[in-house]
Structure 1
């Protein structure tokens, strides 16, 4: 068990590039609308790294790309809809958890109501089964997505579905193109956030997997896996502290980054306790006080989520992920200051990819 502390870092507010984007958008929106509603404009599946923007003039494409890349150079954008449907602008980090908070802040700063002028905005790719009826052009190769089949292996211990993706043309293209096809098919089948929540390993098959199913069936399989985990629970384990004493670990499971998109800040609250058994584990009245302390952490709502607790050697460390712009850090400081069994410490560090949780994942 690694009870640890991290130096505090000041959190950055929502980047100015996001507000700059929406100011630019309001100026250029009429030109974009005119282009996507032009008779010759059309829309087809977008390739990874390219922009879904059929019909937009090259200067607007370049300008929009520049504005998006000012927010982060790895972000991609897609425009869909039009011709009577509400137009949609999607900003995506391609499933990268490091970027999910940025796209969420972008969409929360977007105009709404009448100010949106009929547009819808999404911070991640949405499911769209109709896209699976198209052909996907990657480089000089066109994939008929009707031929895609998915092998699906349920992993109930990890609450994941592992995927083996097959298309007969995989024999003739690069591994990169194979994976691009698989990623697009999964996103259109489930939506980018649910892929991140429930899909595990993705491998490529050059022969159709046994019992393979069409992508449209993926949602039903995932729902069977996800149903027992509608309410998160706590997994517990035992180990040893660095001093060799018994330690206890609890981890919330499942815990999905996408359910707390603004919580980019890892917070470790180290709470000493006075009353312990010979193994240096807490007993009453300390154990009761620790439970009350944890209940207060659980009451913070979406501003902070408790992910892991580590206990041993007279110390309990609560690991949370918090929204740095919500003011919750000040509340956590006050809560720590109110602890009566020694000096509790609060340390935080920016961790938008939730990398600190990796050692505790099943």
Structure 2
């Protein structure tokens, strides 16, 4: 899937979100246990106006889910839609939630009906990546194309874990036509994920050393694990580069610059959930802070002010839309 980039002439999804909620009370009053085709088409049109790759579904409760289907670049749009929802007795969700009862039912995909009680999964926990790699099997995979096999697998994963936890904790997902050894029913997946996630209740910092393009020493620190779903509004990547005046022969910071950089970092963290400090790297006489920011929170202007007050040289602040967090990929284990 292509990366979502909004050109200067492309309307903000916020206008489409506002139009959805202006229109929604009219549709809601006409809904009962079934969704008339005319209303379904109107819902689809309003959701597609926010982004053409968003999905929606109505469930019991009553509830309405607008989802990015686990695609990170769409998570912020779904979250903004959700946060604008009224308090009207309906349940609104920006991602599909777990529904383990569905794992024993049947699912029709295209012209094939699958009995989900036959799904089995090989599960391999990778503590280094904080992920569970999954090999999915169903005896009917012999009769359907890989696209359908994957569609079934991800629907089952969503019901087993919920869409956000699928994105947080699952790693490589493959489909096979022969049952893996030691395979388990998907109802066991949540217990395996809990074991993998347990050590990471609070994110830690991973550190490493390398070389700058000029051949000098470099130090990198990355927050881990980092999950796009935990910071859904942080769609904007911001880099803050600070030169430091006091360095050792390897051009890494020493006192008093080291303390000044720590104070700057504390000022960033004091900005709360509007700004996520994802990583920082030092070398060749400067430190670069890699941040993800809610672009509608006013945080960028505050970062500009903060950088302008840096006393050890001219700071540089740059930014670019990155709803999929692509810039961060080279820093992930």
State TM-score, norm by structure 2: 0.96
Map of 1:217 onto structure 2: 188
Map of 1:268 onto structure 2: 239
Map of 1:109 onto structure 2: 84
C-alpha contact 1:104 1:262 (8 A) present in aligned 2: yes
- Structure 2 SS opposite 1:261: coil
In structure 1, C-alpha distance between the alignment counterparts of 2:50 and 2:260, rounded to whole Å = 44
In structure 2, C-alpha distance between the alignment counterparts of 1:157 and 1:300, rounded to whole Å = 30
In structure 2, C-alpha distance between the alignment counterparts of 1:353 and 1:329, rounded to whole Å = 19
- What is the RMSD computed on CA atoms of the aligned residues? 1.4
In structure 1, C-alpha distance between the alignment counterparts of 2:11 and 2:145, rounded to whole Å = 40
- Structure 1 SS opposite 2:223: strand
205-214 or 194-203, which moves further after superposition? 205-214
**Structure 1, gaps ≥5 residues long:** 1-8, 37-54
In structure 2, C-alpha distance between the alignment counterparts of 1:134 and 1:25, rounded to whole Å = 31
- Structure 2 SS opposite 1:187: helix
In structure 2, C-alpha distance between the alignment counterparts of 1:31 and 1:12, rounded to whole Å = 29
Highest relative contact order (Cα 8 Å, sep 6+), 1 or 2?
A: 1
C-alpha contact 1:13 1:325 (8 A) present in aligned 2: no
**Corresponding residue to 2:161 among 170, 190, 193:** 190
Map of 1:4 onto structure 2: none
C-alpha contact 1:148 1:215 (8 A) present in aligned 2: yes
Runs of 4+ in 1 over 4 A off after TM superposition: 11-14
C-alpha contact 2:124 2:132 (8 A) present in aligned 1: yes
In structure 2, C-alpha distance between the alignment counterparts of 1:173 and 1:333, rounded to whole Å = 54
Q: Give 1:27 shift.
A: 1.3
Whether 1:58 aligns to 2:37 is yes
State TM-score, norm by structure 1: 0.88
Map of 1:69 onto structure 2: 48
**Corresponding residue to 1:166 among 137, 140, 143:** 137
Map of 1:284 onto structure 2: 255
Matches within 5 A, 1:1-362: 15-32=14-31, 34=32, 36=33, 55-81=34-60, 86-112=61-87, 116=88, 118-362=89-333
In structure 1, C-alpha distance between the alignment counterparts of 2:49 and 2:202, rounded to whole Å = 38
**Structure 2, gaps ≥5 residues long:** 1-7
Equivalenced residue count is 326
Q: Give 1:297 shift.
A: 1.2
